[in-house]
Amino acid sequence: MHLNPFDLSGKVALVTGANTGLGQGMAIALAQAGADITLIGRSEPTETLKHIAETGVRAHSIRADLSNSDAVADIVAEAVSELGRADILVNNAGIIKRNEAIDFTPEEWDAVMNVNLRSLFFLSQAFARHLVTESKSGKIINIASMLTFQGGIRVPSYTASKSGVGGLTKALANEWAAHGINVNAIAPGYFATNNTAALQADKKRNAEILGRIPSGRWGKPSDMAGAIVFLASPASDYVQGVTLPVDGGWLSR
Ligand code: NAD
């Protein structure tokens, strides 16, 4: 029995796209719960590293551009060689392209699918191969969206990718639960980050969105803390294949 089932001391968490936004909030939360952190992204996550250092855990950052899934090849090996192990993978990196479906281009389609779904799958595969080879248990947490459940407007590739994340979370849980790997997802509602800058700036859409959120405000990256620590910790060992909304009640309306 764990005295504190949310304690992540001695674990190493890999978080993609953690230089800003939700990834930064989740990386800090995992560090506060005791995990050492490997940050994976295109640029040096200076601010996130500073916050993690304040918690006293170790951190390492890996440069990788996840628009090409070949970039995932060495990530898990480097994480293990730097911090000694890899127990938790948070697939957070994601992008969005807004355009009418009638005008949507193959480039807009591929750019989103490559980061949000293809690299997410192949990084999860590399991580699971490592755990299975070492006979170790682990946790994968994918970042989904309200558009895992809903259709959205002017974001067809984003909706397809995030709906895919929901399905893939279940598919991977079905295959990897037997290896002691939990695969779950978090569906953030409307959070104030770069990803939603265009929506926040659009007065009409901003008011419509706020009007539908029972909690009455946009989410903050720190609102992801409880859910990510839960799904990364022994507290969720018998939770498999779920997509947990953290949405201020948006989906309940
Ligand atoms: P953000 O733009 O602040 O963060 C996205 C992160 O992904 C950044 O760190 C960025 O550098 C990284 N990234 C993008 N392309 C990459 C690439 N090619 N290689 C490596 N890293 C790359 O936005 P955010 O809102 O924090 O988004 C984080 C995740 O949460 C995304 O998957 C997004 O779809 C999802 N999400 C956000 C909201 C919201 O309201 N903000 C809602 C639902 C889901």
Output the six-digit token pair for 214.
Answer: 């029972």
**Is 189 exposed, middle or buried, given 0-12, 13-18 or 19+ CB atoms closer than 10 A?**
buried
Gap from CA of 171 to ligand 1 centroid (Å): 23
pLDDT tens digits, one per residue of 82-121: 999 999 999 999 999 999 999 999 999 999 999 999 999 9
Gap from CA of 142 to ligand 1 centroid (Å): 12
Q: What is the CATH T-level fold of the domain 12-194+222-242, as seen in this structure?
A: Rossmann fold (3.40.50)
Nearest CA residue ID for atom 10, ligand 1: 17
Kindly report the number of other CB atoms within 10 A of residue 35's CB atom: 30
Gap from CA of 93 to ligand 1 centroid (Å): 5
Which residues, listed in sequence order, are joined to residue 246 by a DSSP beta bridge? Answer: 188
Angle between helices 156-176 and 119-134 (to 10 degrees): 10
Residue whose CB lies within 8 A of the most ligand 1 atoms, among 19, 20, 119, 213, for a mutation test: 20
**Is 135 exposed, middle or buried, given 0-12, 13-18 or 19+ CB atoms closer than 10 A?**
exposed
Q: Residue 74: what are its φ and ψ, rounded to 5°?
A: -105, 0
Q: Cβ(248) to ligand 1 under 6 A?
A: no
Q: Cβ(19) to ligand 1 under 6 A?
A: yes
**Ligand 1 atom closest to Cα of residue 42:** 20
Q: What is the pLDDT of residue 2?
A: 65
Contact status, residue 94 vs residue 27, Cβ threshold 8 Å: no
Q: Which of 121, 127, 158, 191 is catalytic?
A: 158
CB-based contacts of 162: which residues, under 8 Å, 6+ apart? 116, 144, 145, 147, 148
pLDDT tens-digit profile, the chain (253 residues): 568 999 999 999 999 999 999 999 999 999 999 999 999 999 999 999 999 999 999 999 999 999 999 999 899 999 999 999 999 999 999 999 999 999 999 999 999 999 999 999 999 999 999 999 999 999 999 999 999 999 999 999 999 999 999 999 999 999 999 999 999 999 999 999 998 999 999 999 999 999 999 999 999 999 999 999 999 999 999 999 999 999 999 999 9
Gap from CA of 194 to ligand 1 centroid (Å): 8
Task: Enumerate the domain spans of the chain.
Answer: 12-194+222-242
Gap from CA of 115 to ligand 1 centroid (Å): 10
Q: Cβ(150) to ligand 1 under 6 A?
A: no
Can you tell me the distance from the alpha carbon of 14 to that of 188, in angstroms, rounded to the nearest whole number? 19
Nearest CA residue ID for atom 8, ligand 1: 17
Q: Cβ(92) to ligand 1 under 6 A?
A: yes
Angle between helices 21-32 and 46-55 (to 10 degrees): 20
Can you tell me the distance from the alpha carbon of 194 to that of 203, in angstroms, rounded to the nearest whole number? 16
Q: What is the pLDDT of residue 31?
A: 98
Contact status, residue 218 vs residue 212, Cβ threshold 8 Å: no
Q: Cβ(177) to ligand 1 under 6 A?
A: no
Is 190 considered catalytic here? no
Q: Cβ(93) to ligand 1 under 6 A?
A: yes
Tokens 């490559």, residue? 114
Q: What is the pLDDT of residue 195?
A: 86
